[in-house]
Amino acid sequence: MKYLKEYRNSETIRAMAAEIRKISSHTWTLMEICGGQTHAIAKYGLQQLLPDGIQLVHGPGCPVCVTPQPTIDRAIAIAAIPNVIFCSFGDMLRVPGSDRDLLEVKASGGDIRIVYSPLQALNLAEQNPGKQVVFFAVGFETTATANALVLSLAKQKQINNFYALISQFLVTPAIQSICAREDCRIQGFLAAGHVCAITGYRQYRSLVQKHQVPIVITGFEPLDILEGVLRCVRQLESGRCEVENQYQRAVTKTGNTVAQDLIKQVFKVATQQWRGIGEIPASGLVLNDDYSGFNAEQTFNLPAVSISENNGCISGDIMLGLKKPGDCPHFAKTCHPLQPLGAPMVSTEGACAAYYRYRNQVESNESTVSNSTKR
């Protein structure tokens, strides 16, 4: 806790905010990539401490939010199969599918277990040889590492009743995709520190050069985030565009090479569908041929699923930084945590959930993203 308290020290945070106010002479729109950062910003009211000209908008870094609806529907279909134990992280259970969510399947008798690590799912498979155990492998490079490790363990141990429903995403292609959009208004990025702890940050150099946009690798505590903003604004005010590493206590340039090798051993890069956003080339991971026997989608005879996401949820625009949750006509009216239209309202890291939960703090900032043009 000592280390957390240091990064939540009110005097240091206020001094950092004062420094940002001092050096800001323009309007800048910055995107925090990770949903964890979004929630920290809302929880601590950081936007209130920043000058009016600096707008923080939310990126596509919530794995629950970007998992496409057909994948949720597949998860629901598998979880409802008798003799299947379906294992998932807790915050996937409330995400709405086409007609119900995993919690409803559980209430109807589906054997759904909340796990805290994929290893728990593998242990369940070993303990229940007469059952088929499916793990919902969702997330970015952070979870891909643990998921790859467990799949390689399952292969070594020849566990033949363990499967994974894969929904893995890569962050860098998503940033690239946002930068390449004609309507992109993002002038600087706060990259997700925990993802970079795995990947390193060399890959951001070409992005910065090509799109002339600063990227600061940033942590998740209030002081981390304000320092990330300060570094970004300093670059923008002085006309620089560089990759900077604010999260030096966890991130190196090359990242965790052991984890990278493990991911390469189990997964291969593929085009990925992002909920609300659409297809992004080379932005996902699927199982390598050597691991195809663990693929839950191939193993279970699943019914065809609808790919319609047209229910009024504007999650795509929110995650691309084009709109804020308050811009949605359904926000806190027909869409709330007990009756969500989309995943961002139910995920622990969802932008809409953050705005709903801490909404008195953000009402003054709920306007559409400013029309400031990209430099």
Partner 1 sequence: MNLQCPIPPNAEEIIRLGHGSGGEMTQRLIDQYIQPVFDNPWLSQAHDSATLPWKPDQLVFTTDSFVISPLFFPGGNIGELAVYGTVNDLAMAGAEPKFLSCGLILEEGLPLETLQRVLTSMAEAARNSGITLVTGDTKVVEKGKGDGLYINTSGIGTLIGEQPIDPNRICQGDSIILSGDLGRHGMAVMASREGLEFESDLLSDCAPLNGVVAQMINAGIEVHCLRDLTRGGLATALVELAENCGRTFFLEESKIPVCDAVQGACELLGLDPLYVANEGRFVAFVPEADIGLALSILRKATADSSFAAIGTVGGGNSSQVILKNNLGCDRLLQRLPGEQLPRIC
Q: Of the two residues 138 and 277, which places its CB atom closer to partner 1 in the complex?
A: 138
- Of 79-87, 180-188, 295-303, 333-341, which segment contacts partner 1 by CB under 8 A? 333-341
Residue 200 corresponds to which tokens in the numbers above? 């390193």
Q: Which of 30, 76, 138, 318 binds partner 1 (CB under 8 A)?
A: 138
State yes or no: residue 8 binds partner 1 (CB under 8 A). yes
State yes or no: residue 225 binds partner 1 (CB under 8 A). no
Residue 163 corresponds to which tokens in the numbers above? 């499967």
Cβ count within 10 A of residue 311 = 13
Q: Which of 84, 92, 149, 171 binds partner 1 (CB under 8 A)?
A: 92
Q: DSSP secondary structure string, 160-227?
A: TTEEEEEEEE-HHHHHHHHHH-TT----EEEEEHHHHHHH-STTHHHHHHHHT--EEEE-SSHHHHHH
State yes or no: residue 317 binds partner 1 (CB under 8 A). no
State yes or no: residue 250 binds partner 1 (CB under 8 A). no
Contact 305, 320 (CB under 8 A): no
CA–CA gap between residue 47 and residue 118 (Å, rounded):
36
State yes or no: residue 116 binds partner 1 (CB under 8 A). yes
- The structure tokens 């925090």 sit at 32
Q: Which of 28, 29, 31, 44 binds partner 1 (CB under 8 A)?
A: 44
**Cα end-to-end distance, the chain, whole Å:** 40
State yes or no: residue 142 binds partner 1 (CB under 8 A). yes
Q: Which of 26, 43, 157, 202 binds partner 1 (CB under 8 A)?
A: 43
- Of 238-246, 252-260, 291-299, 331-339, which segment contacts partner 1 by CB under 8 A? 331-339
Dihedral of the CA atoms 305, 95, 362, 9 (nearest 10)? -130
Q: Of the two residues 45 and 281, which places its CB atom closer to partner 1 in the complex?
A: 45
Closest approach, Cβ 310 to partner 1, in A, equals 25
- CA-based nearest residue to 69, from 98, 91, 103: 98
Residues in contact with partner 1 by the rule CB under 8 A? 1, 4, 8, 10, 13-14, 36, 43-46, 48-49, 63-64, 89-94, 114, 116, 120, 138-140, 142-143, 194, 222, 336-338, 348-349, 357-361
